[in-house]
């Protein structure tokens, strides 16, 4: 065992519960989600393992204890938007490793379009995973696997586009490893709101949901259905469109084409020359 999914964790159950320090459950309600993964982390450390935990609840102090995800959500566009903003809020609170259940966890399956857009965005968050509620007893299946979404929706775009972005994610692993090292060294979030890098730019406080992944990638996910183009705010600096290789000057809004197989991604000019090539190669495969 290399880690634990410390699911739940919002509180301990039982009004009669008393902790070892004498406090009741309601008195320790906020500190419980910190102590819960910390205890599993200590167990792993005692066995010579890294303290890897994956939690959905947290409080002040949780930043020191493992990875987190957004919790259980329905498969809606609204929940998609909420989740991306939740990830940025978590980052602003000092959470380094964060993810969500791609295109939702609960209820009816997402549309093919929602699934594809969510998969694209998730290739550029610290933790990329799909997951769904316990579904073995339901017919038809509500699993959020790409093959089930493809079968249920009858949309033949799901599998090839998902495959493309999974390959892209794998190609980005060396970049992500270095970005994570930098985040640990500097205390700057791995996935971070634009105001971390451009705090004096008033536009970033009202710009659409966007983020930096590491120092060199700017991500602007498509968060609405039927979007053939998308407005992106490029902060001050020079940027390269990862899809076209075209140069753009920052400090302004740009509109880019967003067919169903494309998410707006920009590379900071002056970044490692290999990064743009990795992106273009993976996106073209």
- Which residues are known to be catalytic? 7, 10, 72
List Cβ neighbours of 265 (8 Å cut-off, separation of 6 or more). Answer: 124, 217, 218, 219, 220, 241, 242, 243, 279
SS3 253: strand
Q: Which residue has the tokens 């566009």?
A: 77
Q: Which residue has the tokens 């590491």?
A: 214
Helices 273-284 and 158-186: crossing angle, nearest 10°? 160
- Closest to 169 (Cα-Cα) out of 131, 217, 210: 217
Indicate the pairing of strand 265-268 with strand 238-241: antiparallel
| DSSP line for 16-64 | T-B-TTS-BTTTTTTTHHHHHHHHHHHHHHHTT----EEES---TTGGG
SS3 142: coil
| Local structure of residue 80 (DSSP, 8 states) | H
CA distances from 37 to 6, 44, 64 (A): 6, 10, 10
Rounded CA separation 251/237 (Å): 7
- Closest to 188 (Cα-Cα) out of 56, 285, 96: 96
- Closest to 68 (Cα-Cα) out of 58, 54, 79: 54
SS3 271: coil
């Amino acid at each position: 065992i290399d880690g634990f999914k410390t699911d739940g964790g919002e509180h301990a159950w039982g009004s009669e519960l008393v902790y070892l320090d004498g406090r009741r459950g309601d008195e320790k309600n906020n500190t419980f989600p910190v102590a819960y993964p910390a205890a599993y982390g200590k167990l792993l450390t005692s066995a010579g393992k890294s303290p890897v935990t994956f939690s959905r609840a947290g409080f002040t102090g949780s930043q020191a204890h493992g990875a987190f995800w957004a919790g259980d959500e329905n498969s809606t566009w609204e929940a998609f938007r909420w989740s991306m903003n939740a990830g940025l809020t978590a980052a602003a609170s000092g959470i380094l490793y964060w993810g969500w259940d791609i295109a939702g966890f609960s209820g009816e399956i997402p549309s093919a379009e929602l699934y594809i857009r969510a998969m694209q965005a998730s290739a550029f968050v610290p933790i990329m995973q799909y997951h769904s509620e316990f579904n073995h007893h339901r017919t038809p299946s509500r699993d959020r696997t790409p093959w089930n979404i493809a079968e249920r929706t009858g949309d033949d775009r799901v599998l090839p586009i998902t495959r493309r972005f999974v390959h892209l994610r794998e190609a980005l692993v060396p970049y992500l490893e270095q970005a994570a090292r930098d985040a640990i060294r500097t205390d700057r979030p791995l996935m971070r709101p634009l105001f971390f890098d451009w705090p004096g730019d008033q536009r970033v406080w009202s710009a659409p949901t966007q983020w930096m992944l590491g120092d060199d990638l700017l991500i602007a996910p498509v968060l609405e259905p039927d979007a053939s183009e998308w407005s992106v705010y490029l902060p001050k600096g020079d940027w390269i469109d990862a899809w076209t290789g075209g140069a753009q000057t920052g400090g302004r809004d740009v509109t880019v084409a967003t067919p169903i197989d494309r998410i707006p991604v920009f590379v900071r000019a002056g970044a490692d020359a290999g990064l743009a090539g990795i992106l273009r190669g993976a996106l073209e495969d």
